[in-house]
Amino acid sequence: MRLHKEGLATILISTAITAVVLWLTILLIAPRYPILGWIIGIGIVGLLIFILSFFRIPNRSYVDDQDVIVAPCDGTVVVIEEVQPDEYFTDRRLQLSIFMSPLNVHVNRNPVSGEVLYSQYHKGKYLVAWHPKSSTDNERHSVVYKHREKELLVKQIAGALAKRIVNYLKPGDVVKQGGEMGFIKFGSRVDLLLPLDAKVDVKINQKVKGGVTVLARW
């Protein structure tokens, strides 16, 4: 396991704050109130461990199969329904949404190999990620991939806690399935808009792993 580059500044600041709090606790609080000192020490170290785990990149074997669409992130499947897209596509699509909790791995990965046709950032609100309007009203970044002759859209959506979306792709890029497409800090969701004839392999409330779990087949 390693740590993601997007977490470098956060980790350095968090480590410095942890060190200062521990030093002050040992110097000023622990001698008079040892139990409180232990509580503060364990709490601040636990928070640092949580932040480190948030930026983790676990060792995994990623799927490489041109006939499938893999999960772009870790999380829980919360939506599988037919929708009318609000951007790029004019035809109806199959929406599959994955909710990412703060405990999930937050690296976002390419669900397919192919060419990036569209990459667009949208300003917006910060509704909770499971809100029905978060897909269209929240801050988000949308990417359209062309795989063979078919196209799909992946939308990174900010939530109430996620205030920063990072996306590395631009139109014209040729990407590999399982490669990094971006990162969302501190919990949110990712939507996929698939062709209606895609054969879905997952169910509502199913846990998925980015780059590993097969969501659908062409």
- CATH no. for residue 167? 2.70.70.10
Is the separation of the CB atoms in 190 and 154 below 8 Å? yes
Q: What is the C-alpha to C-alpha distance for residues 168 and 170, in angstroms, rounded to an integer?
A: 7
Residues 111 and 15 in one domain: no
Domain endpoint, select from 57, 81, 99: 57
Residues 175 and 205 in one domain: yes
The catalytically annotated residue of 97, 134, 135, 188 is 188
Mean pLDDT by 10 residues, the chain (218 residues): 82 94 93 93 93 86 93 95 93 95 89 97 68 66 95 87 80 96 83 96 96 95
Q: Which domain holds residue 109?
A: 68-217
Residues 93 and 160 in one domain: yes
Residues 29 and 75 in one domain: no
Measured torsion, CA atoms of residues 13, 15, 19, 20, in degrees rounded to the nearest 10: 20
Is the separation of the CB atoms in 123 and 140 below 8 Å? no
Q: Is 188 a catalytic residue?
A: yes
Residue 172: inside a domain: yes
Residue 128 corresponds to which tokens in the numbers above?
A: 């909770």
Residues 133 and 194 in one domain: yes
Residues 116 and 25 in one domain: no
The CA–CA distances, whole Å, from 207 to 33, 106, 165, 175, 177 equal 44, 14, 22, 25, 20
Q: pLDDT tens for residues 57-115?
A: 888 989 999 999 999 999 999 999 999 998 999 999 999 999 998 888 889 999 999 99
Residue 107 corresponds to which tokens in the numbers above?
A: 């690296």
| Helical H segments across 55-152, by residue range | 134-137
Backbone angles phi, psi at 80, to 5 degrees: -140, 105
Instruction: Provide the sign of the torsion angle of the four alpha carbons 147, 189, 213, 168, taken in this order.
Output: positive
Residues 154 and 210 in one domain: yes
User: What residues contact residue 43 under an 8 Å CB cut-off, 6+ apart?
Assistant: none
- Structure confidence at residue 131 (pLDDT): 55
Work out how many domains the chain is built from and give that number: 2
- Structure confidence at residue 142 (pLDDT): 96
At 116, the amino acid letter reads V
The CA–CA distances, whole Å, from 12 to 5, 9, 15 equal 12, 5, 5
Give the DSSP H or E segment for 36: helix 34-54
Residue 121: inside a domain: yes
Residues 11 and 112 in one domain: no
Residue 164: inside a domain: yes
Residue 109: inside a domain: yes
Residue 62: inside a domain: no
Residue with tokens 């409330």: 205
Residues 15 and 82 in one domain: no
- Structure confidence at residue 160 (pLDDT): 59
Residue 38 corresponds to which tokens in the numbers above?
A: 């232990």
Residues 52 and 120 in one domain: no
Residue 63: inside a domain: no
Residue 53: inside a domain: yes
Residues 85 and 159 in one domain: yes
Residue 23: inside a domain: yes
Residues 27 and 81 in one domain: no
